Amino acid sequence: MNTPSDRPHEPCHPTARPLDAAPSVSPEQARREQDLVDRVVASFDNTGSPRLRQLMRALVQHLHTFVREVRLTEQEWSTAVGFLTECGHITDDKRQEFVLLSDVLGVSMQTIAVNNEAIGDATASTVFGPFFVDGSPRIETGGDLTFGAKGQPCRVQGTVRDLTGRPVPGARLEVWEADEDGLYDVQYRDERVAARAHLFTGDDGRYSFWGLTPTPYPIPHDGPVGRLLEAAGRSPIRASHLHFMVSAPGLRTLVTHIFVDGCDYLDRDSVFGVEDSLVKDFVQHSAQEPPPDGHDLAGRSWASVDFDIVLAPAE
């Protein structure tokens, strides 16, 4: 008997049975199915951790409800197992296909939503993404984090405040982004560090730095998740964005992006990460217009964007 890992590849879009065409289930069949659910749920009754018990009981019930609702076929079950197995095989220390799957199903964004309840005017959170790296270089306010990465220069500035409106001095901002080719530094085969850095707000809570004007790019789509998107007729493209992680003592750490107003993918971001409040106007400037800080642009056009950040109190 073949195991999921050595079965021949099956497409990730088996012929589905329409829900309204599902066969009727007799009372006896329904009783048998529910009895199985009850027995599996009860098998977790002695779980030592109350939270794990809650999670497993709910997971079992929802999974069985799905199987019963769509009348999952054995072939579909086998295909799903093969799909998940392939996700495991393609995952390594630089690529996490299961996180990618969570992202494109909206589960990552939903988890963020339930764990970061909207509080007043606090800046909205969004997905973390797979390309954050610890130990980024530090730059000073007004510094350049591109380190030679390709793209249009962009000046980003703003103020970090708490919910009372008070500036937050010494807040740490981790910033990272893709270059104009849609690649992060860690996706290159060399050891470059580019288009990422961290900096701190001044005593007035203000910050500024030079980065790149974000451009759209595809998430990795050469694996099982990519085939799933193709089968669903969905685009793998992420809306143009710039990553932030902002932290300060006594305040909730914020993971967020800013998105480029006018980007064609705002309403179909492949990981559902766009929040209206995070869409910002990236103002274009000609090469003849000097930047306010005298930054050397080597004769290039540039952009600028304002992004004020409001941090919620830590729980």
Domain locations in the chain as residue ranges? 107-311
Is pLDDT of 186 > 50?
yes
pLDDT at 252: 96
d(CA 114, CA 124): 12
Is pLDDT of 97 > 50?
yes
Query: How many other CB atoms are there within 10 angstroms of residue 75's CB atom?
Result: 11
d(CA 257, CA 238): 12
Given a contact cutoff of 8 angstroms between Cβ atoms, the answer to whether 32 and 100 are in contact is no
d(CA 68, CA 33): 8
- For the chain, give the longest Cα–Cα distance: 79
Partners of 161 in the β-ladder: 167, 310
Residue type at 53 in one-letter notation:
R
pLDDT in tens, 240-271: 999 999 999 999 999 999 999 999 999 999 99
Helix (H), strand (E) at residue 30? helix 27-42
Query: How many other CB atoms are there within 10 angstroms of residue 203's CB atom?
Result: 8
3 state DSSP class of 202: coil
Share of the chain above pLDDT 70, in %: 93
d(CA 35, CA 33): 5
Q: Which CATH superfamily is domain 107-311 in?
A: Aromatic compound dioxygenase (2.60.130.10)
For CA atoms 66, 68, 69, 72, give the dihedral sign. Answer: positive
3 state DSSP class of 231: helix
d(CA 279, CA 304): 14
In the chain, beta strands by DSSP E: 153-162, 172-176, 196-200, 206-212, 217-218, 237-238, 241-247, 254-260, 279-280, 283-285, 302-306, 309-311
Given a contact cutoff of 8 angstroms between Cβ atoms, the answer to whether 298 and 149 are in contact is no
DSSP per-residue string spanning 90-137: H-BTTB-HHHHHHHHTTHHHHHHHHHS---TTPPPP----S---SSPP
Is pLDDT of 151 > 80?
yes
pLDDT in tens, 190-249: 888 999 999 999 999 999 999 999 999 999 999 999 999 999 999 999 999 999 999 999
Residue type at 205 in one-letter notation:
G
